Structure 1
Amino acid sequence: MNSDFIEALEQIQKDKGVSKDILIDALEAALISSYKRNFGTAQNVRVSINRDTGEVHVYSQKRVVEEVENDLLEISLADAKKINAKYELEDVVENEVTPRNFGRIAAQTAKQVVVQRIREAERDVVFGEFINRESDIITGSVARVAKGSVYISLGKTEAVLPPGEQIPNEQYNHGDRIKCYIVEVKKTTKGPQIQLSRTHPGLIKRLFELEVPEIHDGVVEIKSISREAGSRTKIAVKSNDANVDPVGACVGPKGARVATIVEELKGEKIDIIKYSDDPEVFITSSLSPAKVVSTTVNEEEKTAKVIVPDYQLSLAIGKEGQNARLAAKLTGWKIDIKSESQVSSKS
C-alpha cells in the first residue's frame, strides 16, 4: 500500500464520516489475522501502518523471560540483552518479519475492511437517525410483502410492519404511501431493525398532533385514547384555554381535520369526546353517540352504573359490545349499562 491509499482513506473520511484512524486501526487488527492465516504462524505479531505513507510493517513480539518454554512467544533475558542491553524481564522484544509479498495481502484485506467499516458506519448513521424517532410517525412507501409482513421503504432503509401491527383487512400494494407509528428501533448485526405499527393508539395521537395545530401547540391536550384498529377509536381531549373548544378544534372547519385522519386510516370511525375531571360527566360523554339518562359512580371500586333510554341501549353497548368496551378503556372505569325498563322491572 502507498500514500494513494492514505489519500483514499482521507476521502472516505470526508465523504462517509468514517475516521481514517478507525479504518487504519481496524485494518491493522485484520492484517494480524491475515498474516497468521497466510504464513501459518502462532507468533504474537504487531502490524503497523504508517499514517502518512501507507507502508505496512509486521513485527514479531516475544516476551523476555528467565527460562524459555515457547521460543515462538518468549526470549531469554540473555538473548534479549544481546539485542539491546536495556531489555529487562517482562519487556517485549520486537523484530520485523514483514514478508516480501505482504503488500498484496494487505491490499486485499484493506478492501474488505474498508467496505465492511463503511457499511457499519452507514448502518450506525441510519440507527442514530431512527432511534430518536421511536413513538413518532413516519411516512414510507410499500416496498414488498413477504410472509404476511409488509416492508416499508424509508429511503435509506426498510422497516417492517408485522402482521399483528396491520389494520385488519387493509390492503398494501407496492408503491402505496402510508403513515406508520415507530414502535421500536433495534441495532442488529444486519443493521437497524425498525418495527412499525398501524394499529397502535400512538398513531392516532401523532396524526391528531399533525392535523390539529392546537394540539401541537399544547392548547388542546389528548387525555386518553382507546382503539380497535380498522373499526373505531375514541379520543378524549381537553382544552387548556377557556376560549377554545377542544372537540371543535379536532373536528376542524367542516370536519376537514378529522376527515383527513379518517381517510389515512381507511375509514376507521373516530369519536372525539370532551374530557372532564368529573367521572360522571366523562363516562356519560364516553358513551357517545348514545344518549344517557343518568350515571352513578362508585369511586372506591371505580365502577359506574349507566342508565340509557330503551331505544338507545343497543347504541350504547355497540355492535358486539364495542362502544361500551371502548368507553371503559377510554375512561379507565368499569361501566355497567342498563336500559330504563331493565331498571324499573327490578325495582
Structure 2
Amino acid sequence: MNSDFMDALSTLETDKGIEKEVIVEAIEAALISAYKRNFNQAQNVRVDVNRDTGTIRVFARKEVVEEVFDPRLEISIEAAKEINPAYELDDVVEIEVTPKNFGRIAAQTAKQVVTQRVREAERSIIYSDFIDREEDIMTGIVQRQDHRFIYVDLGKVEALLPQSEQMSNEHYKHNDRIKAYITKVEKTTKGPQIMISRTHPGLLKRLFELEVPEIYDGTVEIVSVAREAGDRSKISVYAEDKDVDPVGSCVGPRGQRVQTIVDELKGEKIDIVRWSENPVDYVANALSPSKVLDVQVNEEEKSTLVVVPDYQLSLAIGKRGQNARLAAKLTGWKIDIKNETEAKELGLYDPETANVPGAEPKEEPDEESHVEGEEDWLEPGNPDDPEMDWDESEKD
C-alpha cells in the first residue's frame, strides 16, 4: 500500500461516512491473520500501518523471561538486553519480521477489508434511515414475486410484502407503484430486512395524514381505526376546536380527500365517524349508517345494548356482521343489537326513557323539589289558578 491508498481512505470517509481509523484498524487485524496463514507462523505478532505513507510493518511480540521454552513467544533476558539494555523481565520485545513479499498479500487483504467495511457501512446507513421510518408509509415499485413475498423496491433497498399482508382485492404486477406501511425493520447478516403491509390499520391512518392537512397539523385527531382490508374500514376523528368539523375535514370538498384514499385502497369503503367521550353517542356514531334509537351502557362489562328500528336491523349488523364487528373494534365496547319490536317484547326498550344519541342525558327529578313545585307549571296570573285572586281588569 502507499500514500494514494491512504488518500483513498480519506475520500471514502468523506463520501461514505466510514471513519478512516476504523478501516485501518480492521486492515491491521486482517493482516495479522493473513501473515499467520500465509507464512505458517504461530507467534504473537502486531501489524502497523503508517497513517501517512501506508507503509506496512510486521512485528513479532515476545515476552522477556529467564529461561526460554517457546522461542516463538519468548526471549531470554540476555537477548532482550542486547536489543535494548532497558528491557526487564516480563517486558514485551517487538522484533520486526516483515516478509519481503508481504506487500502483495497486504494489498489483497486490504482490498477485501475495505470492500467488506464499505458494504457494512452502507447496510448500517440504510438500516439507520429505515428504522426511523418504522410505522410510516413509503411509495415503492413492485419488482417480482414468489410464493411467499412480493418484492417492492423502496429506492435503497427491497422490502418484503408477505402474502398475509396483501389485500385480497389487489393483483400486483411488475412496475406497479404502491404505498405500503412499514411494519418492521431488522438487522440481518445480509443487511436490513424491511417488512411492509397493505392491510395494516396504520396504512389507513397515514393516508389520511397525507391527504388531510387538518390531521397533519393536529387540528383534527384520529382517535381509532378499525379495518378489514380491501372491504370496509371505520375511522373515528375528533377536533378540540368546536368550530372545526372533523368529519367534513376528512371527507373534503365533494368527497375528494376520502375518494383519493379509497382509490389508493382499490375501492375499500371507509366510514368516517365523530368520536365522543359519551359512549352512547360514540357507539351510535360507530354503527353508521344505521339509525339508533337507544344505547344502554354497562360500564362494568364494557358492553352496550343497542336498539335500532326494525327495518334497519340488517343495516346495523352489516353483511356477515361486518358493520357491528367494525363498530365494536373501533369503540372498544361490546355491542349487542336488537330491533325495536324484540326489545319492547323483552322489556328492554321504552321510548320514554331511551338514551337517544345526541340528546342531553336525562337527570332523575329531585323528589322533594317535585312536591314543592308541582304547581310551577301554572303561569303567574293564570285565571285557572285557584290559589290566586284574578283581577279581570288586569286581564284586559
| TM-score normalised by structure 1 residue count | 0.97
Of the two structures, which has the highest relative contact order with CA contacts closer than 8 Å and spacing of 6 or more?
Answer: 1
Aligned to 2:125: 125
List aligned pairs for 1:59-74, cutoff 5 A. 59-74=59-74
Q: Look up the match of 1:189.
A: 189
- Per the alignment, residue 215 of structure 2 pairs with 215
Q: Aligned partners of 1:192, 1:67: CA distance in 2, in Å?
A: 54
- Mapping of residues 4-153 of structure 1, within 5 Å: 4-153=4-153
**Paired amino acid for 1:304:** T
Unaligned 5+ runs, structure 1:
none
Instruction: Letter of the 1:42 partner, please give it.
Output: A
Aligned twin of 1:268: 268
Equivalent position amino acid for 1:221 in 2: E
Q: For residues 232 and 285 of structure 2, what CA distance do their matches in structure 1 show?
A: 16
One-letter amino acid matched to 1:200: H
CA distance in 2: counterparts of 1:90 and 1:270, whole angstroms: 79
C-alpha displacement at 1:342, in angstroms?
1.9
The alpha-carbon deviation at position 317 of structure 1 amounts to: 0.9
Taking the TM superposition and a 5 Å limit, the aligned residue runs for 1:245-264 are 245-264=245-264
Q: Distance in 1 between matches of 2:194 and 2:66?
A: 57
Aligned length: 347
Quick one: distance in 2 between partners of 1:326 and 1:278?
18
Paired with 2:186 and 2:65, the residues of 1 have a C-alpha distance of 48
Q: 1:70 Cα shift?
A: 2.5
Q: Which structure is larger by alpha-carbon Rg, 1 or 2?
A: 2
Q: Are residues 1:277 and 2:285 paired?
A: no
Amino acid at match of 2:240: N
**TM superposition shift of 1:286:** 0.5
1:343 deviates by 1.6
Q: What SS does the aligned partner of 2:116 have? A: helix
**Partner in structure 2 of residue 307 of structure 1:** 307
- Residue 286 of structure 1 pairs with residue 286 of structure 2: yes
Range 209-218 or range 85-94, more displaced: 85-94
Question: Deviation per CA, 1:11-46, whole angstroms, max 9, x where unpaired?
Answer: 222322222221111111111111111011111111
CA distance in 2, matches of 1:169, 1:67: 82
Structure 2 distance, partners of 1:172, 1:131, is 26
CA distance in 1, matches of 2:204, 2:75: 71
Amino acid at match of 2:142: V
Match of residue 318 from structure 1 = 318
Aligned to 2:241: 241
Distance change (3 Å), C-alpha of 1:76 and 1:237: same
Cα deviations by residue, 1:156-185 (Å, 9 ceiling, x for unpaired):
111111111111231111111111111111
> Aligned partners of 2:153 and 2:101: how far apart in 1?
46
Please report how far the alpha carbon of residue 225 of structure 1 lies from its aligned counterpart in structure 2 after TM superposition: 0.6
What stretches of structure 2 of length at least 5 have no aligned partner? Answer: 348-396
SS in 1 for 2:58: strand
Question: 1:243: Cα distance to partner?
Answer: 1.0
Q: Secondary structure at the match of 1:272?
A: strand
Shift of residue 345, structure 1, vs aligned partner: 3.2
Output the CA distance in 1 between the equivalents of 2:232 and 2:77: 83
Q: TM-score, normalised by structure 2?
A: 0.85
CA distance in 2, matches of 1:73, 1:259: 77
Aligned-pair distance for 1:106?
0.6
1:144 Cα deviation after fit:
1.2
Which AA in structure 2 matches 1:37?
Answer: R
Identity, in percent, stands at: 64
| In 1: Cα distance, 2:321 partner to 2:71 partner | 82
Question: What secondary structure, in the 3-state scheme, does the structure 2 residue paired with 1:85 have?
Answer: coil
Q: Distance in 2 between matches of 1:119 and 1:194?
A: 17
| 1:24-80 alpha-carbon deviations (Å, 9 max, x no partner) | 111111111111110111111111111111111111111223443322122233332
Q: Measure, in 2, the Cα distance between the counterparts of 1:275 and 1:295.
A: 16
Q: Which amino acid is the alignment partner of residue 99 of structure 1?
A: P
For the residue of structure 2 that corresponds to 1:206, the secondary structure is helix
CA distance in 1, matches of 2:250, 2:97: 75
Cα deviation, residue 113, structure 1? 0.9
Counterpart in 2 of 1:174? 174
